[in-house]
Amino acid sequence: MCFAWAVAIGRRGTGRRIRPLRVEFKRPAANRRLYESHFGCGVKFGARHNRLFFHAEDIAQPFVTHNAELLELLAPQLEIELSQLAADSLKTQVKTILKKLLAGNRPRLEDVAGELRLSTRTLQRRLLEEGLTFHTLMEEARKEMAKHYLLQPALELNETAYLLGYEDPNSFIRAFHKWEGTSPGEWRSTQPRYAATRM
């Protein structure tokens, strides 16, 4: 699923019919024709690692869908939060860093500790002292960013799931339903700010 996303985002972003050079899966061979038809290249099964290879020319292509206005909507708040990081509580610091690292990734405790210039053990100890857990802060950061992204009409649900580091849209939908008791699409449709931007 992640490889399919990577190819789909590359095709959509560049406006080109990008074809991977090859795909390698650790899993045993199955549905080879389906995979090769989707990716448009040879697929190797039983590999040592899951890997997706692209031509250097394709990797160098700029995203024609770069949207400066959308970037202005998404970036400023994070920049403000980052500039205030030193004066914030540990909880706020960790959540701000998580939001910065989330785009398409699943940040680890080690990643956040590195940003704070702390050892992983020190950060873990300080979180425990304040009655916090890394998992809880991760969920709070994802929830806050999910609502922010869902208010942007240019972002589709699958793109929001990717930006929040979920492996697939269904995982995001389940998490959002747990947070809000409704689906992301239903929540989005009830927001006045979203409705106003669609008019």
Residues 36 and 77 in one domain: no
Of the three residues 59, 77, 97, the one that is the final residue of a domain is 59
Same-domain check for residues 139 and 193? yes
pLDDT of 6 reads 81
Length in residues, the chain: 199
10-residue stretch averages of pLDDT, the chain, 199 residues long: 79 82 89 86 91 90 66 60 61 90 83 90 93 94 92 86 87 94 92 59
Contacts of residue 23, defined as CB under 8 A and 6 or more positions apart, other chains included, come to 3, 35, 39, 41, 42, 43, 44, 51, 52, 53
pLDDT for the residue 67: 61
Identify whether residues 89 and 29 lie together within a single domain. Answer: no
Give the integer Cα–Cα distance in Å for 158 and 2: 11
CATH code of residue 141: 1.10.10.60
From 35, 59, 83, the end of a domain falls on 59
Return the pLDDT at 135: 94
Rounded to an integer, what is the distance from CA 20 to the centroid of its chain? 21
User: Which DSSP state fits 117?
Assistant: T
Whether residues 26 and 107 share a domain: the answer is no
> What local confidence, expressed as pLDDT, does residue 157 receive?
86
Are 55 and 72 within one domain?
Answer: no
Q: How far, in Å, CA of 35 to CA of 135, rounded?
A: 34
Q: Same domain, yes or no, for 12 and 98?
A: no
Residue 40 exposure: Cα atoms within 13 Å on the Cβ side: 11
Same structural domain, 80 and 142? yes
Residue 13, φ and ψ in degrees, nearest 5: -70, -40
Q: Are 34 and 14 contained in the same domain? A: yes
Return the pLDDT at 29: 85
Q: For residue 165, what pLDDT is reported?
A: 85
Task: Kindly state whether residues 145 and 126 are assigned to the same domain.
Answer: yes
Write down the pLDDT at residue 199: 45
Q: How many domains does the chain have?
A: 2
Q: What does the block give as tokens for 99? A: 């939001």
Whether 198 and 151 have beta carbons less than 8 Å apart is answered as no
Are 163 and 129 in the same domain? yes
Quick one: which H or E segment has residue 52? strand 51-53
CB 169 within 8 A of CB 184: no
For tokens 């940040």, name the residue: 107
**pLDDT (0 to 100) of residue 105:** 74
Among 59, 80, 99, where does a domain finish? 59
Shared domain check, 119 and 75: yes
Number of neighbouring beta carbons within 10 Å of residue 145: 22
Residue range of the domain that includes 133: 68-198
198 contacts 188 by C-beta, under 8 angstroms: no
Instruction: For residues 114 and 20, state if they share a domain.
Output: no
